[in-house]
């Protein structure tokens, strides 16, 4: 796989960092998750392909052990608030002195500087501070976050993954590691560059929920069907809009022009009335295979069974019969081969990992004796 041989030490955290680590593991990196002693493990359920080492970083012996791990690692991924690693004597200056090739990755909500750098937050807070939350929501309603996908996983985990790959690539030329300040506010703002850069041309001059791409246009929104399901419409281009009208049984000559913003509310009502007369399956029979840009809004269960997704094997199932999306994108020569095994238990690979990173059997025994590490192995029920 593309990241074969890349060693990653991931300090356990929530959502964005585990996702970043899982992406790296899916594409071949050797990811060790450092869990707190006695913790419940990855509550984000994003531990696929990782191994778990249970280590007490608050004790000097635990911090020293992590330093030894990082001395042999390519990437450290830490998800703590600004200043936490420095308090543990594990800041960038210390670890890069031990290993100048280390990619020291800091994934936080607000970044490593600024007045909010040491305060708590979640996806919705980072989304709010980036400015983009003000643009998301229905007309006349409060701003509404798109689940916790945009800041946590788009601007956070995925942008952090990009930063790591960029630093790894640069290291092939310089031979040097560096510090990555990945944060969800700036990552989300960068992700929304299109919205920022189209402000001057008037794409967002209407109130929230009344613009071309935020649900204001009758040809870019969702509609309820006769059976209580929904269809998604994205017929922006004139030729696609004509196909939409044809499928709905409407004549363009009898309607206002497509881009008559003042008429959009009435056109939405007219379209809604038409969509409400047929079921989702009936609309699929009308629009499937056309360029009208009309698709069914699928549930998770329906997405698994949809012919297109089945043909591409877009979803995978692990040994516990849990289903999730296949890693993307697809690489032709070195595709991701995600692990089908269950997620690791906390401390399941403690001894194995310590041995690989150069700890002697006596050192491992002492770490256990001092309760700096924990080991846990599943036993078979006989």
Q: Hey, which residues are catalytic here?
A: 122, 152
Q: Are 134 and 160 in contact (CB under 8 A)?
A: no
Strand partners, 34: 11, 53
d(CA 32, CA 269): 54
Strands (E), the chain: 7-11, 30-35, 51-55, 75-78, 103-108, 178-183, 220-224, 230-234, 294-296, 315-317, 323-325, 373-374
Cis geometry, peptide bond prior to residue 329 (ω within 30 degrees of 0): yes
Q: Number of C-alpha atoms within 13 angstroms, CB side, residue 185?
A: 18
d(CA 348, CA 138): 47
d(CA 300, CA 154): 20
Strand partners, 186: none
314: Cβ contacts below 8 Å, ≥ 6 apart: 308, 325, 326
């Amino acid at each position: 796989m593309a990241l074969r041989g890349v060693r990653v030490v991931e300090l356990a955290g929530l959502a964005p960092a585990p996702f970043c680590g899982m992406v790296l593991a899916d594409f071949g990196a050797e990811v060790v998750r450092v869990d707190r002693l006695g913790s419940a493990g990855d509550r984000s359920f994003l531990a696929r392909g990782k191994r778990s080492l249970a280590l007490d970083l608050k004790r000097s012996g635990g911090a020293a052990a992590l330093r030894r791990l990082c001395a042999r690692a390519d990437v450290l991924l830490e998800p703590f608030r600004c200043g936490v690693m420095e308090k543990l004597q594990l800041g960038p200056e210390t670890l890069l002195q031990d290993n100048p090739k280390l990619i020291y990755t800091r994934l936080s909500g607000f970044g490593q500087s600024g007045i909010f750098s040491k305060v708590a937050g979640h996806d919705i807070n980072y989304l709010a501070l980036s400015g983009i939350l003000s643009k998301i929501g229905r007309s006349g309603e409060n701003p509404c976050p798109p689940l916790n996908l945009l800041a946590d996983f788009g601007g956070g985990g995925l942008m952090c993954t990009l930063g790591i790959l960029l630093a790894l690539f640069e290291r092939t030329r310089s031979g040097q590691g560096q510090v990555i300040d990945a944060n969800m506010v700036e990552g989300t703002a960068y992700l929304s560059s299109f919205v920022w850069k189209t402000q001057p041309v008037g794409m967002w001059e209407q109130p929230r929920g009344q613009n071309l791409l935020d649900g204001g246009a009758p040809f870019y929104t969702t509609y309820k069907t006769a059976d209580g399901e929904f269809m998604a419409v994205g017929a922006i281009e004139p030729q696609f809009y004509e196909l939409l009208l044809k499928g709905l049984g409407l004549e363009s000559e009898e309607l206002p022009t497509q881009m008559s913003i003042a008429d959009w509310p009435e056109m939405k009502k007219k379209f809604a009335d038409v969509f409400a007369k047929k079921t989702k399956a009936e609309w699929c029979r009308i629009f499937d295979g056309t360029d009208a840009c009309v698709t069914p809004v699928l549930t998770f269960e329906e997405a698994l069974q949809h012919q297109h997704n089945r043909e591409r094997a877009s979803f995978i199932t692990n040994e516990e019969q849990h289903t999730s999306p296949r890693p993307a994108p697809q690489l032709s020569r070195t595709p991701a081969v995600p692990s089908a095994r269950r997620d690791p238990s906390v401390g399941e690979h403690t001894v194995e990992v310590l041995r690989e990173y150069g700890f002697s059997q006596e050192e491992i025994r002492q770490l256990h004796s001092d309760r700096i590490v924990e080991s846990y192995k599943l036993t078979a029920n006989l």
